[in-house]
Structure formats: structure tokens, C-alpha cells
Structure 1
Amino acid sequence: MFSHKRADFGPDFVFGVAMAAHQIEGGQRDGRGSSIWDTFAATPGNTRNADTGVIACDHYNRWPEDLALIRDAGFDAYRFSFAWSRLLPEGVGTVNRAGLDFYDRLIDGMLERGIKPFATLYHWDLPSALQDRGGWMNRDTTKAFADYAAMVGRHFGDRLESIATFNEPWCITVLSHFMGVHAPGYRDVRATARAMHHVLLAHGLGISAMREEAAGAKLGIVVNMEKAEPYSQTPEDIEAAALGDDIFNRFFLDGAIKGRYPQRVTDILEPYLPTNWQDDLPAISPPIDWIGINYYTRFLYRHDASVPVFPFVQVRGDLEKSNVGWEIYPQALTEFLLRTAGDYPGLPIYVTENGISETDEAKRIAFFDKHFAAIRAAQQQGADVRGHIAWTLIDNFEWAEGYDPKFGLVGMDPVTRDRQPKQSYYDFQAMLTDGRQPTA
């Protein structure tokens, strides 16, 4: 059982659960176009066990069952993402009516069950047709995104509690264009620098477009933060950790909110950024209504002069780890919440993802409980933290790691796709409902 009560966090605090379109939906025969994750996962060697999201959790057909799980646990909100290529199969142009109908059913289903829809426009699944033209390396993709954002705002905006433009720009750009771990699988510094800039430009253009179309929705961006600490106290390792922190934790929020990039990063990426990139900074940073932080773990940074571009290596420390090797370090969540509140004052903060891959339910429950304590500590020190959204409801397609990681509060039979609530699900239910029976 959790040691915290719902009331501890304040009367308006939102508890939710998150999932993402490509990881759960399936349903690829309704006119949905191909995305970069379809082709990346179809390429041998890119995903563990050659797993794909072709069927995933079959959420496309089983969404009423999944919304019932969310409602019955007492969650206030469901953070979901639109599949861009389900709505616009070519990324631009003709809208897929079946895609609109699916999200109409899903959003209306949330509202009927008393669940607040927290939407994300982009959770990593760029339409393949746009990738054919350069994807996030091509400035034209920023305009395509703005048009997509306007369409979503126009059709769905009056029913959405909030809309995030992007989920985890670091993963979209550095992990996917520099490290090559995620789609589209590039390992190229020029591609990375251009993607970093263009994703933020798309964010700014998308926010501006939605201001015209989705007047009722609160607009923001979701970034992932990972604690960056020096491997040792040598000046070189301290500087490596500072650079890692600037790349991972400061670049995207500074760009989106302050209209500037950390100097350490631009000193390195300047030769690879688009010409006259500084001229875009005002367009990148229109006002937003909230900040979303995804937090899981930390890395230690060790200076290594032999590594090109970013001269460091990341290593894990000796803390307790999840079953995928991620260190458990809840105190950094307090630090990030306080730092974000101080660096970007006046903006409410949501913990938009937080969770652990684990088969030991006692360990999962303890993980959440420790991170709840970290949120309370930040609140008590003045941070305006408005919600916690658990990752994730159901064990699902975890990108390059396939179906091996187990982040879900609910398990899934790999053959039947039947849902199997875990003890952590019931502990959330006990905390959030105070023993009350859910209503139909």
C-alpha cells in the first residue's frame, strides 16, 4: 500500500495514467498511413525479438475496456497521443475520416466516464511520407506539423483538457538522430542539430496555430529529464555532467520558454545548425500554459576526449536498479521540480510520466511511493506541481526494447491481449478511491 493519500497533494491535484498511440493502438487498416516506427520496427535488428506495434495492445478495438480500467482505478486523466498518420496518412493533405472517428469515440468515451483527456500531438511516430522528404531535418516538416496541430485543435480542441505539442524532444532528436537507437535511426550530428532546432520550431508554430483553433485547451510541452551527475569530482567530469545536463535537461525548455539555447550546446552544434537559426527563436517560444516533466532515472557522466562531438560517456552508478537497469533516484525529481519552478516561474508543472519496468510489484509500489514523497517535498518548498501521471497503464510495445519491459499497472497476455491488473493497480485504486466503488 502507498503511504500517501490523495488529499495529501491538494484538492485539485490530478492523478492520471499515460499511454502512446503507436505503443498500444494497432488498428492499422482504417486508412492510417505508415509511420517511421512501422518501417523502423520492420527492419531486422532494430527491435528486441523483432517486435512491432502492428497489433500492440489492440487499444484501437479494446479502448472501452481500457477506459474502464482507468475509471475504475480512480484516475482523473488519461494522457494519450494522436497518431499523426492515422489522421493525415501522408502527413499533410487529405484527412482520414476513420481516424477522426476513432479519436472522436475515444475522447467522447473519456468524457462519458469522467476522465480528463490530456492529449499529445507527437509521441515519436512521424508519418513516413514526411520522412521521405527529410523528416525533422527538413524545415518544411515544421509547417506540416503546424497545419496538423491546427486541424487537431479545430476538430477536438473544445473537448480536450490539455494539449502537448511534443513528448520528449530529446528522444525525438538526440536518441533518434545522433545515437540511432530509435526511429529513424540516424547517427549524424548535422541531422541531430537540425532536428533539435526544427522540432522546437514546430512546437512554437504548433502552439501559435492552436491558439487560433483550440481556445479552451491548455497548451504545453512535455520534456524528459534525467539526472546528470559527474562520475568523479575532477573538473573534467564536472564539466561533462554540466554539458549533459544542458543537452538533456535545459536545451528544449530554454528554447521553448526563454527563446534561447544553452551556450555550451550551441558552441558545439553551431556548424551544423540551420543558417540564421537565431532568427527563429521568437517563433519557437510563444507563451505556453504548463510544463510537463517525465522523470525516471539518472546517469553518471565521465569525460572522454576520444568521443567526438560530445566528449563524455554515460555510466550507471551503484544505486538500486529496475529490471532494465535504470537507477532509482527519486530525490532528483524534487530537484527538477524546484529548478523548473525557479527557471520558468508562473507555469504550472505536471509530472507527465513516471514509472518503473519491474516484475516485482512491491518494488513498483515502493518506486511510486518514493516519487510521491519527492513531489510533496517540492510542493512544500513552493513548486506549483499540479499532477502525477503514471507510466503506464498496460504493458506495451516499448519501442526498441519490444515487449520485454514491464512498466504497466496492468499486464497483458501476449496471445489473447487480455488485461490482467497487478497489485500496483489495486494500490492506486485504494489510494484514489478511498474504497468507494466506481460508478458506471
Structure 2
Amino acid sequence: MTTREFPPDFLWGAAAAAYQIEGAVDADGRTPSIWDTFTRLPGAILNGDDADAACEHYDRMPQDVALMKELGLASYRFSTAWPRICPDGGPVNQAGLDFYRRLVDELLGAGIVPWLTLYHWDLPQALEDTGGWTRRDTADRFLDYAMAVYDALGDRVDHWTTHNEPWCSAFMGYTGGGHAPGRQEGVAGVVAAHHLLLGHGLFVDEFRRRGGTPEQGKAVGITLNPTVADPFDPTRAADVEAARRLDGFHNRVFLEPLFRGRYADDLAGDTDGMLFAGRPWQDAVHDGDLQLISAPLDFLGVNFYHGDVPAALPYDAEPGELLGSRIEHATRPRQSPYPGGGFVFPRTGRPTTDRDWEIDPDAFTRLLVRLRDEYAVPPVYITENGAMANDVVEDGAIHDAGRREYIEQHLHALRDAMDKGVDVRGYFVWSLMDNFEWSYGYAHRFGLVHVDFATQVRTLKDSARWFAEMAARNALCQ
């Protein structure tokens, strides 16, 4: 047996998000987020689930940190809840901040590095009521909230992530409607994307002003979920065009402003004639915005689950005509998470996870190499990667071989990218424990730790024990 070792200081961890695990949605002054509202919409969440209890992490946090220590995690990536810390987007609520003070203290006491994400999709509903991320003022309110967190925790937290997957917040939330706040308003997704990036830039600027530099032991970045867009039929011009548009709306709408200080020319062409509130989306871009947004970062977080293989189809195509397609991104413009819609994702014959996401580790390697070659990104941390599986408890055990195999394949793909010179410094598996998986509710399980949502009993899965052993060894076997 041979091994593939990782660098001695490679960071191994697991990730979670506040809304997905905390519960206690009205405790200690917390007010509703857009997800509290969205879960009440008929048909929005699989099985009509809500996150009122979730994993009860708000009340069970010390036990959960003890689980992390048992697994030997070097780091824990978590998010803070904006409506808990600044209820209704208003003044700071110290009772809400106190929970995260206790969490950070518990992590440090267990020898676990806290890796903090400021925004993992739980915008206060009161701010959405005034326009949400389509309103420029929300970026300013984000800065107020973010600095309240920094003032409280900046002496003990060194790694700061502004946003998690702003693509989901912008396009799933304001164009496709499949995520909170559930709006289906075309090019509003691009407006929201710009304001999310502006909030990011405002925080990075203030972070630096307050001495947040690598020389002071501090680091700031953002987490994106870029995809690999391969045309279904590379000889068909329409499919090649669909792949270009997907790359533009999913990847380059964030990569270009962050790392080149501009929006790509084809984004304007693809949105030509589309108006939000009667105006082109470019009106949301003010002088100085792109300079703020493109300020140098200390790291880039990358979330990866699968690549995409788009095929161009007429808007009015029926599901039976879609070559057995998985209609995760629906064909009709009103439902598409991309302005204008116009393409779907046919099956390619690759194996899939139980969530029906195709497994393509090679795409992971290609993505990381592209980020290095085309955008000269800073050091990369894989901030989410994992597999949904239909776990079955058998005699008190969960034998999730498929999840282990998925993670192992992607770690080999990650090591391939590192062998090609990509500077990857850490890996966080998604997720620490089964949780409220957004619009899929509790039916889809990604955790290393099984949660019985009726009893809140936690059980380590086979994948958890394997991951702990592999991380302790700091090497893959092959």
C-alpha cells in the first residue's frame, strides 16, 4: 500500500451553517430571517420541513464541540446568524453575540481553530422587506453587522469569510426563486450579486483598516461555489454557447470583479434589454465599487460537489423531451436561476450521489487548475465538499461506504491539483452533522455524524471514523 501525503500544516476540518443546525429561532432576541419566512411558503421545502429545531445546536453546542474533538478536527467552519446578532437588521444584541463567544471559547479550549463565515444566507427578514440584496443599503447594513461580530470575536478568531456561495444568495434567491427569499425577478440576481460583492468589499476594507493582515495573524476571504461548464455536445454550437453563458452567470460574474476589478463584457450582452426596477443592472455599480470588491484577499474558499454539463433547449421544451435530464435548473425562464434560462443539464452516464448529483472528481482538479491559471487566486481552502446519502441505521451503526468513497475520490483529485502546483491549504468536509438541508429539508443527509431528529441523538458514521483516521495520518492510502 502506498500513501499520498499532504503538507504538514494542511488544515483538516468540517463545516456547518447557523440556520441549518442551531434551531432556537426565537431565543434570546433572535428575529426571523428570510429562511424562516421561506420555509412557511407552501411547497417551498421538501416534506414541509422547517428549521425551528434543526439540530438544537444552540442548546447542545458543548456536546457538539466535544464530538469535533473526538473526531480530531483541527478546524471548524461555522457561520454567525445575522438575525441573532442584529435582530431585524438593527442594533447589536449582546445575548446573540454571547452564544458565539461561548462557541469560540469552547472551540479554542478543545484545540480547534474557529473558521468564521459572516453570511450563510440568513438575511434578516426586516431587511428583505425593504428590498433585501437588491437594495444597496443592505451592503452597508451587512458591514454594520459584520463589524459587530469582528469587534466581539476578532481577538480570538483569525480566519474570516465574508460570504458563502453568493451565487446561491443572488441567483437562487432573486432570479430562480428556489431559495429564500423566493423571488423570480430575472436580472435582479445580478443586482443582488453586485451588492453581495459590495458588502464583501466594504468588510475587507474595514478589516484591513483595523489591522487585519497576515502580519498580524489575520486572514480574510470569500467562499464561492464555481462550477465546470462542459457543453453536452461540444460539436453543437448551441451547447457550446450554453456552456459559455453558464460560466458567465455562475463563475465569472464573481471571479471577474473579485480578481480583475471588472465585469466581463459578455455579461452585459447576455443581459441586454433586461431591466430591474426599470433600469439596467449596471446602474447598481457606482464609482469605486469595483476597487473595493477587487481588494487583495488572503484566501479563496472553494465549495465543490459536481460539475455541470449544459445543453441548449427551447424555452418551451417539455420534460419528456429532455434526454432523461435532471431538471434541477428548470428550462423555463421564470424558474431558471439564470437570467434568460435556456438550458438544462442532461444525464451523461456518470455515477451519481443519492442526491442525483453526478460524480466527476476530474472536474474538481480542472476547476482548481483553472482558478490558478486564469485568475491567479490566493491560497485555496476547500470549504465544502461531501456527498448526500440515504443513510440507514443498522444495529446502531451507519455504514455509509458511498460517502467515504466520494470524499476519498475528491481528495485524490485535490491532491492531483496540488501536484500540478495549485496552492491548496485545507479541506472542510460538508458537513459535520446531518442538518436542515435548505429546500430539501431533513430528507437529504450530508453529515459525518448522524442525527436522529426525533431524539437529537448523534451517532458517528463509518465515514466519520475513516475521515478522522485519514486526517490524523495526513495522507491518503492507495
- What is the rounded CA distance, in whole Å, between the counterparts of 1:350 and 1:148 in structure 2? 25
Q: Out of 18-27 and 220-229, give the one that drifted further.
A: 220-229
Uncovered stretches (5+) of structure 2, i.e. residues with no partner: 276-280, 316-331, 334-339, 392-398
Counterpart code for 2:240? I
Structure 1 residue 367 corresponds to structure 2 residue 406: yes
Please give the secondary structure, in 1, of the residue aligned with 2:308: strand
Counterpart code for 1:74? G
**Could you tell me whether the CA contact under 8 Å between 1:161 and 1:218 is conserved in 2?**
yes
**Could you tell me whether the CA contact under 8 Å between 2:300 and 2:377 is conserved in 1?**
no
Which residue is equivalent to 2:185? 188
Which residue is equivalent to 1:255? 257
Structure 1 residue 428 corresponds to structure 2 residue 467: yes
Q: Out of 388-397 and 340-349, give the one that drifted further.
A: 340-349
Q: Out of 282-291 and 108-117, give the one that drifted further.
A: 282-291
**Could you tell me whether the CA contact under 8 Å between 1:299 and 1:316 is conserved in 2?**
no
Paired residues, number: 431
**Could you tell me whether the CA contact under 8 Å between 1:354 and 1:390 is conserved in 2?**
yes
Counting only pairs closer than 5 Å after superposition, residues 50-69 of structure 1 correspond to structure 2 as 50-69=48-67
- What is the rounded CA distance, in whole Å, between the counterparts of 1:292 and 1:261 in structure 2? 21
Counterpart code for 2:291? P
- What is the rounded CA distance, in whole Å, between the counterparts of 2:357 and 2:347 in structure 1? 8
**Could you tell me whether the CA contact under 8 Å between 2:194 and 2:284 is conserved in 1?**
no
Please give the secondary structure, in 1, of the residue aligned with 2:305: strand
- What is the rounded CA distance, in whole Å, between the counterparts of 2:158 and 2:113 in structure 1? 6
Which residue is equivalent to 1:211? 208
**Could you tell me whether the CA contact under 8 Å between 2:386 and 2:431 is conserved in 1?**
yes
Q: Out of 152-161 and 182-191, give the one that drifted further.
A: 152-161
- What is the rounded CA distance, in whole Å, between the counterparts of 2:2 and 2:55 in structure 1? 31
Select which of 358, 368, 384 maps to 2:423.
384
Deviation of 1:209 after TM superposition, in Å, equals 2.0
Please give the secondary structure, in 2, of the residue aligned with 1:237: helix
Which residue is equivalent to 1:117? 114
**Could you tell me whether the CA contact under 8 Å between 2:191 and 2:284 is conserved in 1?**
no
Structure 1 residue 335 corresponds to structure 2 residue 335: no
Q: Structure 1 277/319 Cα, relative in aligned 2: closer, same or farther at 3 Å?
A: same
**Could you tell me whether the CA contact under 8 Å between 2:54 and 2:453 is conserved in 1?**
no
Deviation of 1:389 after TM superposition, in Å, equals 0.4
Structure 1 residue 101 corresponds to structure 2 residue 98: yes
Counting only pairs closer than 5 Å after superposition, residues 154-303 of structure 1 correspond to structure 2 as 154-213=151-210, 215=212, 216-233=217-234, 234-269=236-271, 271-272=274-275, 273-275=281-283, 277=285, 279=287, 280-303=289-312
- What is the rounded CA distance, in whole Å, between the counterparts of 2:343 and 2:254 in structure 1? 20
**Could you tell me whether the CA contact under 8 Å between 2:384 and 2:427 is conserved in 1?**
yes
Q: Structure 1 333/432 Cα, relative in aligned 2: closer, same or farther at 3 Å?
A: same
Deviation of 1:346 after TM superposition, in Å, equals 5.9
- What is the rounded CA distance, in whole Å, between the counterparts of 1:315 and 1:78 in structure 2? 36
Which residue is equivalent to 1:412? 451
TM-score by length of 2: 0.87
**Could you tell me whether the CA contact under 8 Å between 1:3 and 1:369 is conserved in 2?**
no
Please give the secondary structure, in 2, of the residue aligned with 1:227: coil
Uncovered stretches (5+) of structure 1, i.e. residues with no partner: 436-440
Select which of 98, 116, 129 maps to 1:132.
129
Q: Structure 1 276/145 Cα, relative in aligned 2: closer, same or farther at 3 Å?
A: closer
Deviation of 1:3 after TM superposition, in Å, equals 7.9
- Deviation string 1:169-214 (CA, Å, 9 cap, x unpaired) is 1100111111110000011113212111111111111211222346
Which residue is equivalent to 1:438? none
- What is the rounded CA distance, in whole Å, between the counterparts of 2:181 and 2:196 in structure 1? 14
Deviation of 1:397 after TM superposition, in Å, equals 0.1
Counting only pairs closer than 5 Å after superposition, residues 64-83 of structure 1 correspond to structure 2 as 64-83=62-81
Please give the secondary structure, in 2, of the residue aligned with 1:388: strand
- What is the rounded CA distance, in whole Å, between the counterparts of 1:144 and 1:269 in structure 2? 28
- What is the rounded CA distance, in whole Å, between the counterparts of 1:195 and 1:162 in structure 2? 25
**Could you tell me whether the CA contact under 8 Å between 2:101 and 2:152 is conserved in 1?**
no
- Deviation string 1:2-56 (CA, Å, 9 cap, x unpaired) is 9856xx1101100110000000001221111110000100222110111111110
**Could you tell me whether the CA contact under 8 Å between 2:92 and 2:148 is conserved in 1?**
no
- What is the rounded CA distance, in whole Å, between the counterparts of 2:453 and 2:20 in structure 1? 14
- What is the rounded CA distance, in whole Å, between the counterparts of 1:346 and 1:173 in structure 2? 22
Counterpart code for 1:159? R
**Could you tell me whether the CA contact under 8 Å between 1:158 and 1:217 is conserved in 2?**
no
**Could you tell me whether the CA contact under 8 Å between 2:303 and 2:385 is conserved in 1?**
yes
Structure 1 residue 312 corresponds to structure 2 residue 343: yes
- What is the rounded CA distance, in whole Å, between the counterparts of 1:346 and 1:237 in structure 2? 28
- Deviation string 1:125-177 (CA, Å, 9 cap, x unpaired) is 00011001100011110111111122221211121131110000110011111
Please give the secondary structure, in 1, of the residue aligned with 2:306: strand
Q: Structure 1 281/382 Cα, relative in aligned 2: closer, same or farther at 3 Å?
A: same
TM-score by length of 1: 0.94
Deviation of 1:278 after TM superposition, in Å, equals 5.8
Counterpart code for 1:351? I
- Deviation string 1:76-134 (CA, Å, 9 cap, x unpaired) is 10000000010000213x21111111000000111111100100000000001100110
Which residue is equivalent to 2:357? 326
Structure 1 residue 397 corresponds to structure 2 residue 436: yes
